[in-house]
Amino acid sequence: QYCNGNWQEEIPSDRSSWGTFVAIREDTQAKVRKLVDEVAGQNDLDPSSVAGK
């Protein structure tokens, strides 16, 4: 038991480890993936624009 009275959470069965940094990494990867997917199908982007780069 932790000092704040909470029990340690179980590691998800599909993971070998789990923690705050893993959750942050997964959230960031999902956001980056969404951004890439949004511009991936756009063929008319200006190469000098942020999305075109």
Residue-wise pLDDT tens digits, 3-41: 666 667 778 888 888 888 998 999 999 999 998 898 888
C-alpha–C-alpha distance, residues 33 and 31, integer Å: 5
**Rg of the chain, C-alpha, whole Å:** 19
What's the pTM?
0.60
The pLDDT score that the predictor gives to residue 33 is 95
Q: Is the pLDDT of residue 52 over 70?
A: yes
> Residue 2's pLDDT band (boundaries 50, 70, 90)?
low
C-alpha–C-alpha distance, residues 15 and 7, integer Å: 19
C-alpha–C-alpha distance, residues 48 and 52, integer Å: 6
Q: Is 38 exposed, middle or buried (0-12, 13-18, 19+ CB in 10 A)?
A: exposed
